[in-house]
């Protein structure tokens, strides 16, 4: 995908990736810690993380032998601006969005 907005919405389309973003709202996490609550292989989680990183929603950093993932705070800004252009959406309150993700996805993380 060449359009960053397309990459953002494609990344957000998957419930596992949305759950990962909700987890990263709390703090940076090692890839193995991100993978822990999911019933899938580390390779599958790494693919999800790759898609999130390509979309610019997260960044990854190697610290010694451990790869850490970090939520990029302004990553959803372009998507928010695009949605506001339709006039039917209120500006996104990121605190409310965080609470929504925690509520909606918090219980489903282990089921994904």
pLDDT for 88 equals: 62
pLDDT for 99 equals: 82
pTM (2 decimals)?
0.74
Domain residue ranges in the chain = 4-104
**pLDDT < 50 stretches in the chain:** 109-112
Per residue in 83-99, pLDDT (tens digit) is 877 766 566 677 777 78
Tokens standing for 62?
């190697």
What average pLDDT does the chain have? 87
Task: Write out the DSSP string of 79-97.
Answer: HHHHHHTTSSSPPP-HHHH
Q: Which CATH number fits domain 4-104: 1.10.1060.10, 3.40.50.300, 1.10.10.10, 3.30.465.10?
A: 1.10.10.10
pLDDT for 15 equals: 95
Distance in angstroms (rounded) separating the CA atoms of residues 112 and 92: 26
């Amino acid at each position: 995908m060449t359009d960053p907005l397309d990459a953002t919405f494609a990344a957000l389309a998957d419930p596992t990736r949305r759950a990962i973003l909700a987890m990263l709202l709390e703090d940076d996490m090692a890839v193995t810690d991100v993978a822990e609550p999911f019933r899938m292989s580390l390779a599958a989680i790494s693919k999800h993380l790759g898609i999130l990183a390509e979309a610019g929603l997260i960044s990854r950093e190697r610290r010694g032998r451990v790869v850490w993932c970090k939520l990029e705070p302004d990553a959803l800004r372009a998507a928010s601006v695009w949605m506001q252009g339709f006039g039917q959406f209120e500006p996104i309150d990121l605190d409310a969005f965080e609470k929504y993700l925690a509520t909606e996805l918090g219980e489903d993380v282990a089921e994904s």
